[in-house]
């Protein structure tokens, strides 16, 4: 009995040491994944900003060409998503929250890169969906942009015509389009919640008929 009693604390101590080792190992993996994700997000954002600057300078100064608004909206959404991701990753004290789960630490190489690029891709898609909602008149009001067919002889009867000739009516509306594109990328739940609200409203309207 004495021997059994004597060995019990030793076993507990060994288990405690093992738990500590595992915890330290997990922390190391999380930190490694954090560093890589931060690098991907940081250099991705820098590359996007550089692309925007070079593209805009080239279009206005060299080629005298106006870039397609839809492309600018997509880039605004992507930039908003990068901004949101970098803001979360900047807070190192909440590392486990930023990485969502320890499973992320097990991702390697291109998989972690793909995981890091998911938010910008979602931001680009969300900004396009929101812009289409503006074009379709689904969303409107004072804080939202007002879009219309360009004057003169411009036509907006086909998809190509809409892409070329349909857009913001004023400089303020241009700004609203781009800032809402940025917000769509920054707020991951904005467009999904909007779509869910539209679906719910449509179902209620069908039930009333």
- Span 84-92, average pLDDT: 73
**In the prediction, which pLDDT does 20 show?**
42
**In the prediction, which pLDDT does 180 show?**
94
Number of domains, the chain: 1
**126 confidence band (pLDDT: 50, 70, 90):** very high
Given the DSSP bridges, would you call strands 147-149 and 166-168 parallel, antiparallel or unpaired?
antiparallel
Query: pLDDT tens for residues 127-179?
Result: 999 999 998 888 888 899 988 887 766 678 888 888 888 888 888 999 999 99
**In the prediction, which pLDDT does 157 show?**
80
Give the residue with greater pLDDT, 18 vs 130. Answer: 130
**In the prediction, which pLDDT does 103 show?**
57
- Span 104-109, average pLDDT: 60
Give the residue with greater pLDDT, 144 vs 60. Answer: 144
Cα distance between residue 45 and residue 33, in whole Å: 18
Exposed/middle/buried for residue 174 (C-beta within 10 Å: 0-12, 13-18, 19+): middle
Which residue range(s) make up the domain with 202?
A: 2-208
Average pLDDT, the chain: 75
Q: Is the pLDDT of residue 111 over 50?
A: yes
């Amino acid at each position: 009995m004495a021997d059994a009693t004597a060995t019990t604390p030793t076993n507990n101590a060994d288990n405690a040491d093992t738990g500590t080792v595992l915890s330290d190992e997990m922390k190391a993996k999380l930190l490694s994944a954090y560093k890589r994700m931060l690098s991907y997000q940081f250099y991705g954002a820098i590359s996007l900003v550089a692309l925007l600057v070079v593209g805009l300078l080239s279009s206005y100064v060299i080629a005298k060409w106006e870039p397609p608004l839809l492309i600018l909206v997509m880039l605004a959404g992507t930039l908003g998503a990068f901004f949101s991701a970098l803001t979360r990753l900047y807070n190192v004290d909440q590392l486990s929250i930023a990485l969502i789960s320890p499973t992320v630490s097990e991702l390697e190489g291109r998989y972690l890169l793909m995981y890091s690029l998911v938010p910008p891709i979602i931001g680009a898609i969300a900004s396009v969906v929101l812009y289409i909602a503006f074009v379709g008149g689904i969303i409107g009001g004072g804080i939202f942009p007002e879009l219309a067919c360009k004057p003169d002889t411009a036509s907006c009867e086909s998809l190509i015509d809409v892409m070329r000739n349909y857009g913001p009516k004023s400089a303020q509306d241009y700004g609203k389009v781009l800032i809402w594109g940025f917000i769509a990328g920054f707020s991951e739940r904005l467009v999904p919640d909007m779509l869910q609200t539209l679906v719910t409203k449509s179902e209620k309207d069908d039930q009333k008929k």
